[in-house]
Structure 1
Amino acid sequence: MTFTAFRGLAAALATSALALPVAAQSWDMPTPYGDSVFHTQNIMEFVADIEEATDLEITVHSAGSLYAHPEIKDSVRRGLAPMGEVLMSRLANEDPIFAVDSIPFLASSYEEGRALWEASRPMVEEKLAAQGLTLLFAVPWPGQSIYTQEPIESAADLEGASFRAYNAATERLAQLMGAVPTQIETGDIPTAFSTGRVDAMITSPSTGVSSQAWDFTSHYTDTQAWLPKNMVIVNSRALDGLDEATREAIMSAAAEAETRGWEMSAAETAAKMATLEENGMTISDPSETLSGELAEIGETMTAEWLDEAGDEGQQVVDAYEAKMSDM
């Protein structure tokens, strides 16, 4: 082959290579919950928005099908999966700041929950950034409320009752209400009530419906004791490795997902409470006496959390109280 012919062949190959489409980058995203859960549905919309605006392809692995819930955060930190979803309070053993949204009665409504999130978000972002993680958005579960077989007017009505606990916070809450904490997993709730192992519980209306609480309780006291949040996080190096337009599209989609997710959570609360009522449960607000007692319990548990969280925790609480005073 002559030199001129070689140059011509090389030029032709280069031109054809440039004409080939660039392969889209693919990411995996593990989540802990099934496709029917509103958090997962919100994430599907979030991913669709990103894919519509960019060449990034994201496969959502729901229901712990790629990594189990306890493994997701570390898989994102290590870059095994660039993006994932976790319950924020699952990280409380790393730093008490991650438990701020699970302090009973510190924030007991969506309005208060939003103010608490705005107050705590900068510090949560800082804690994640130190581990090479970037927070994209967070969405709350419906508020936690009390299920009983009889109406309750005060904490005295729960004295000595066997009260379902599923973590350290709910165990402490039961103790402060004068009840006896009993560890019961979600799947065991109906059996625990039917066999008398437990007399009352605090959980979301979503769990109340999924466990068909009307079969073993009759009263739902709408305390909205706390609104625990799920966070969607991304590996910071993976995010920084994307082009600027793709990064901007992800952050824009994340902002929309947070707004949409909070709206979906509120709608979920209303829908599930309606289902409880349709199945014969009595829905009521806490009495003035009970509200006062629960507020005192909230103050006690906040003080206990502050002992762990120290100055950083106090900064968050001060910022939250300042936001509430401006409302």
Structure 2
Amino acid sequence: MTINLHRLLAGTALAALAALPAAAAEWDMPTPYGDSVFHTQNIMQFAEDVSAATEGDIEITVHSAGSLFAHPEIKDSVRRGLAPIGETLMSRLANEDPIFAIDSIPFLASSYEEARGLWDASRPIVEEKLAAQGLTLLFAVPWPGQSLYTQEPVESSADLEGASFRAYNAATERLAQLMGAVPTQIETGDIPTAFATGRVDAMITSPSTGVSSQAWDFTSYYTDTQAWLPKNMVIVNTGMFDALPEDQRTALLEAAEAAETRGWEMSEAETESQIATLEENGMTVAQPSETLSQEMSEIGETMTQEWLEEAGDAGQGVIDAYRSAE
């Protein structure tokens, strides 16, 4: 009798547990940038969309400004399952595989239209490279294009001959060399001081960084080269993604698709508003001259060929797909 009673109670308890709804997935999401940055704002909207679409079954808490994991740690934290989902700059992974640097080759894609074409051509192999590490790409959004800031107008690369040019990675160092300038490593926070003390005479960066560093205090000309449009990626741990019910996976992918579309629109709006702010503060905004455009195109071809030497056949396949669709 006692045994039967225990069995009855155990069976009742199991039935009750089975009747309970599955526990909601509570996902922490590290991101590198502050809440005022449009990338973060887009991701916060994405998190809200996921919660609404899954009726609260997936709740994503965004930890911005590197508050959970520092930027260099985010990709590996997602790969190891320490965080289910996260955001990182794609080109930060270039030391793992040159494919991840394709959107940071100067003058390969110098507009939003070209950047979109390059992303369409490169996305499949980026997804493949991430999949090999147990990561699934959800979406990617570009920063505004990188453009020239100088104290004098630049009509050709000859105007930069011998100038001290801010560099912050291998690509910008090589770009400076090809433009006849002298590369000087300067971190973003040190830009105003570097110009004020004469350590640098020119730089290439986004209009967003130009505004945040108040570039009008130390430069007068903004040449809208849009040399490259680097992207941030949002990635998810594949094992944790695959463990979700099918309807939740679908909801996550649909929210990601919407976030990518919205993010590209936000990036373009950011470009326009930040360039307007540069103008409002007295900077002269100009399009590249015909001569400078031609020189930039040649530099882009040189740096593309140098990249292909590292990227090999896989890289050539992406470039061929990109150019055939132009």
TM-score clears 0.5: yes
Instruction: Report the Cα distance in structure 2 between the residues aligned to 1:279 and 1:179, rounded to whole angstroms.
Output: 27
TM-score between both structures, scaled by the size of structure 2: 0.96
Q: Which amino acid aligns with 1:25?
A: A
1:57 alignment partner, one of 41, 56, 59: 59
Question: Displacement of 1:7 after TM fit?
Answer: 6.8
Q: Please show how residues 309-320 of structure 1 align to structure 2 within 5 Å.
A: 309-320=311-322
| Shift in CA distance, 284/10, structure 1 to aligned 2, threshold 3 Å | same
Q: Which amino acid aligns with 2:290?
A: E
1:205 alignment partner, one of 207, 212, 229: 207
| Shift in CA distance, 177/242, structure 1 to aligned 2, threshold 3 Å | same
Q: Which runs of 5+ in 2 are unaligned?
A: none
Q: Residue 241 of structure 2 aligns with which residue?
A: 239
Q: Residue 217 of structure 2 aligns with which residue?
A: 215
Question: Displacement of 1:167 after TM fit?
Answer: 0.3
Q: Residue 46 of structure 1 aligns with which residue?
A: 46
Instruction: Report the Cα distance in structure 2 between the residues aligned to 1:21 and 1:238, rounded to whole angstroms.
Output: 19
Q: Residue 251 of structure 2 aligns with which residue?
A: 249
- Residues 187-229 of structure 1: per-residue CA shift (max 9 Å, x gap): 0000000000000000000000000000000000000000000
Q: Which amino acid aligns with 1:269?
A: T
1:93 alignment partner, one of 92, 95, 98: 95
Instruction: Report the Cα distance in structure 1 between the residues aligned to 2:216 and 2:234, rounded to whole angstroms.
Output: 33
1:135 lines up with 2:137 in the alignment = yes
Q: Which amino acid aligns with 1:26?
A: E
TM-score between both structures, scaled by the size of structure 1: 0.96
Q: Which amino acid aligns with 2:81?
A: G
2:276 alignment partner, one of 274, 277, 283: 274
- Residues 6-59 of structure 1: per-residue CA shift (max 9 Å, x gap): 677556645654565543121111110111100001001111111111101111
Q: Residue 27 of structure 2 aligns with which residue?
A: 27
Q: Which secondary structure does the structure 2 equivalent of 1:59 belong to?
A: strand
Question: Displacement of 1:314 after TM fit?
Answer: 0.6
Question: Displacement of 1:318 after TM fit?
Answer: 0.3
Question: Displacement of 1:176 after TM fit?
Answer: 0.5
Q: Residue 189 of structure 1 aligns with which residue?
A: 191
Q: Which secondary structure does the structure 2 equivalent of 1:135 belong to?
A: strand
Structure 1 runs (4+) greater than 2 angstroms displaced: 1-23
| Shift in CA distance, 270/18, structure 1 to aligned 2, threshold 3 Å | same
Q: Which amino acid aligns with 2:102?
A: V
| Shift in CA distance, 16/189, structure 1 to aligned 2, threshold 3 Å | same
Q: Which amino acid aligns with 1:107?
A: A
Q: Please show how residues 75-90 of structure 1 align to structure 2 within 5 Å.
A: 75-90=77-92
Instruction: Report the Cα distance in structure 2 between the residues aligned to 1:177 and 1:249, rounded to whole angstroms.
Output: 47
Q: Which runs of 5+ in 1 are unaligned?
A: none
Q: Which secondary structure does the structure 2 equivalent of 1:84 belong to?
A: strand
Q: Which amino acid aligns with 1:225?
A: A
Q: Which amino acid aligns with 1:295?
A: S
Q: Which secondary structure does the structure 1 equivalent of 2:325 belong to?
A: helix
Instruction: Report the Cα distance in structure 1 between the residues aligned to 2:3 and 2:96, rounded to whole angstroms.
Output: 66
Instruction: Report the Cα distance in structure 2 between the residues aligned to 1:220 and 1:100, rounded to whole angstroms.
Output: 25
Q: Which secondary structure does the structure 2 equivalent of 1:67 belong to?
A: coil
1:36 lines up with 2:36 in the alignment = yes
